Amino acid sequence: MSLDPHAALQSLTSALEEHLAAASARRGDDDPAVEAAYLSIVDAFEIYEEVLFEACNEVTPLVIYEDEEDDDDLDSIDDEDEGDLEPIDD
């Protein structure tokens, strides 16, 4: 990936701002705009982390965790980790 880290950071910042706007205008617990904004943060963060590492050989101290509903699928595979948050590995 050959993006500039500053451009990737700006995309992440924009995704965070869009999430705040969607959360502030939430129309119920399952508002699709909030979910879409959440996923945009995940995508923008993953790109930023990759670009930052390529450009500066550095990472952030942040980790993206799976949703609790997704953990239910993992629990059937490994009951030992029941209730534990697992970082998303892409």
Question: Cβ(45)–Cβ(64) under 8 Å?
Answer: yes
pLDDT at 42 over 80: yes
Rounded average pLDDT over 31-51: 97
Average pLDDT of the chain to the nearest whole number: 85
Question: Cβ(42)–Cβ(61) under 8 Å?
Answer: no
pLDDT at 74 over 60: no
The percent of residues in the chain predicted with pLDDT above 70, rounded, is: 74
**What residues does 65 pair with on adjacent strands?**
87
pTM, two decimal places: 0.71
pLDDT at 68 over 90: no
Rounded average pLDDT over 47-66: 94
